[in-house]
Structure 1
Amino acid sequence: MSKQVLTGIKPTGHIHLGNYVGAIKPALRLAEIESYNVAYFVADYHGLTKIHNQAEMKELSYGVAATWLALGLDPDRAVFYRQSDVPEIFELSWILACFAPKGLMNRAHAYKSMVDDNQKGGREIDNGVNMGMFTYPILMAADILLFRTELVPVGKDQIQHVEIARDIAETFNKIYRETFVLPEYVIQEETSVLPGFDGRKMSKSYNNTIPLFEEPKKLQKLINKIKTDSSLPEEPKDPETSVIFSLYQEFATVDQVEKMKVRFKEGIGWGEAKKELFQVMNSFIEKPRSKYEELMANPHVLDTILNAGAKKARETTIPFLREIKKKMGIYH
């Protein structure tokens, strides 16, 4: 029996290596499994929590769509849509909000982080918190539950959102009998949180990201900024603690990774290691970069693909939302 897989990316910045390693790469791998039904989306309404500029929202949303397609997503094999084109998601979001305790939202990592920052800065605890950001996990739960999703590929820092979706679904199911599937998260166990060039978690908020489709010269400059220790070229280096090696193994072949691991342990200069990293990364993204640029230059192509995907998605969401509303006694 096939399993339903779903994942999305919000357009709040240009796609970087952390997005690719933590979400896109494992999601695309799942799409190769015959027994999985896959659905991917551009989470533009999630992006509204931060992006309030029309031109920026359009450009970033198209960027997310073009990234998925450039990296190999097959819209004939998957359901691929823009979140804002499926209104049932937002109707379900309100329904789920009525079953979500405020205390559960208070414990959401993103909200807690903003509260902590405000307290440290001597500001009101909810300074800068809009209600979209506060209820973000509820909208994500609607994304997941409306498609009867069983597996959600996420980065390790997104696990809580899947757990919140499960909590809300269980509450609803206890009242109205089995309705929602309880989703499970899927992560790459061998992949830790990808570090940025400063050694911290790669994040837009730290301004330490490496854009996935960066042009070669800028890519080389960003790689050269990666922090290293002061060990001499001939001194052995631990690949397990190296930012350079962490990035290298995500883009190199198995054989290349094993050879590089030996070179680290025998001694390699950091300059040489960065050069090798640039070569494997640039080689990997060369064709996808070209496809991405082609799609971004032809947004009407993206619209055609996304509109077709939304139509396909609504063949599932319309009847399921009708079923949910009947159970609550509000569908006539």
Structure 2
Amino acid sequence: MTISRVLTGITTTGTPHLGNYVGAIRPAVAASQDPEVRSYYFLADLHALIKANDPKRVQQSRLEIAASWLALGLDTDNAIFYRQSDVRETTELAWLLSCVCAKGLMNRAHAYKAAVADNEEAGVPDPDRGITMGLFSYPVLMAADILLFNANRVPVGRDQVQHIEMARDMAGRFNHVYKGDYFALPEAVVDERVQTLNGLDGRKMSKSYDNTIPLFVSEKKLLKLVRKIKTNSLEPGEPKDPETCTLFQIFSAFAGETETADMRRRYAEGIGWGEAKNELFEYLNAHLAGPREEYEKLLADPGHIENVMQKGAERARAEAAERLDRLRSAVGLGRFL
């Protein structure tokens, strides 16, 4: 039986929201319980430093994200769950890859080009003003995350496909320069079935837009946020289009086929927006009540979370150290004896 190696990173710059759950956490938890998948899930806290300069925010985000994934059922016996910063081999590999990576490849990275374009649009004389080496070389660190464990499948959104292609380029270049099959070439996995939820204002749910519904807010806060979701001016009794409605989109992301079909019928019959929002709140609250309770228990016991992360780091480092020994020898940095 061929074991598929799947790797996913979670940037620690905020609090997990419903969109994160539907788009990343739920499918990852399911994969972590599959014995035919070797899963690696890590808190991308080194990546977080590119955007976040608030140490308290990064630290709190790491804790909240770890607690969220554990509360939602991540199988840490089957999957390897760790903090990126605990596996120092990642940064060493990033340097080895930097030494075979063409600068021109990094010049084409979408994030870097977007930052340059913003400066040019603002009329800034220096197009690189405010651009750190962390932002510029982000794809190299991401490639190291992937190649360190020879992951062959990397679930990503379409905006991240370029980074996987760059990782393939670096892997191939290293293999060529040092004349060996040191790295497998990873494949981007873009699952079109994975939903992207809209937020309170109808745009994509994102921390950048400040329109998110955090996963584990209190019942009172959850109700308040659901009631803030933007709707149109159609009155009760008037048929409504579920395909253009954020309320229906979120409901159907959590509900089963039968419940979704029933709600679609009620939209056709003219359900009122107040009733639709109450229905969504009740459904979300029931779905999240158990995990919310577990989440609060975990946050109250950070020592337990730390133990889980340390065990994950030990497993990750055992594998990473063995691979780095081979790579050090390949580039001439091996032991004398």
Q: CA deviation at 1:96?
A: 1.2
1:324 and 2:327 aligned: yes
**What is the root-mean-square deviation of aligned Cα atoms in Å?**
1.8
- 1:146 counterpart residue number: 148
- The AA in structure 2 aligned to 1:294 is K
- 2:99 counterpart residue number: 98
Q: For the structure 1 residues 189 and 330, does the alpha-carbon distance in structure 2 shift closer, same or farther, using more than 3 Å as the test?
A: same
Q: For the structure 1 residues 242 and 101, does the alpha-carbon distance in structure 2 shift closer, same or farther, using more than 3 Å as the test?
A: farther
Q: Secondary structure at the match of 2:50?
A: coil
Q: Is the Cα–Cα contact under 8 Å of residues 170 and 182 in structure 1 kept in the other structure? A: yes
Q: For the structure 1 residues 303 and 156, does the alpha-carbon distance in structure 2 shift closer, same or farther, using more than 3 Å as the test?
A: same
Structure 2 residues without counterparts, runs of 5 or longer: none
Give the number of equivalent residue pairs: 332
Bigger Cα displacement from structure 2, 99-108 vs 315-324: 99-108
- 1:121 counterpart residue number: 122
Bigger Cα displacement from structure 2, 232-241 vs 79-88: 232-241
- In 2, the alpha carbon distance for the partners of 1:167 and 1:202 equals 32
Q: CA deviation at 1:192?
A: 4.1
Q: Deviations over 1:3-39 (max 9, x none)?
A: 1111121111111122222211221122232210111
Q: CA deviation at 1:200?
A: 1.5
Q: Is the Cα–Cα contact under 8 Å of residues 33 and 78 in structure 2 kept in the other structure? A: no
Bigger Cα displacement from structure 2, 76-85 vs 52-61: 52-61
Q: CA deviation at 1:107?
A: 2.7
Q: For the structure 1 residues 6 and 211, does the alpha-carbon distance in structure 2 shift closer, same or farther, using more than 3 Å as the test?
A: same
Structure 1 residues without counterparts, runs of 5 or longer: none
Q: CA deviation at 1:71?
A: 0.8
- In 2, the alpha carbon distance for the partners of 1:166 and 1:232 equals 54
- 1:130 counterpart residue number: 132
Q: Is the Cα–Cα contact under 8 Å of residues 43 and 62 in structure 2 kept in the other structure? A: yes
Bigger Cα displacement from structure 2, 302-311 vs 25-34: 25-34
Bigger Cα displacement from structure 2, 25-34 vs 154-163: 154-163
**TM-score between the two structures when normalised by the length of structure 1:** 0.93
Q: How does 1:20-169 map to 2 (within 5 A)?
A: 20-123=21-124, 124-169=126-171
Q: For the structure 1 residues 233 and 301, does the alpha-carbon distance in structure 2 shift closer, same or farther, using more than 3 Å as the test?
A: same
Q: Deviations over 1:77-99 (max 9, x none)?
A: 21111111111001001111222
- The AA in structure 2 aligned to 1:234 is G
- 2:212 counterpart residue number: 209
Q: Deviations over 1:120-155 (max 9, x none)?
A: 333343333221122112111111110110122223
Q: Is the Cα–Cα contact under 8 Å of residues 171 and 184 in structure 2 kept in the other structure? A: yes
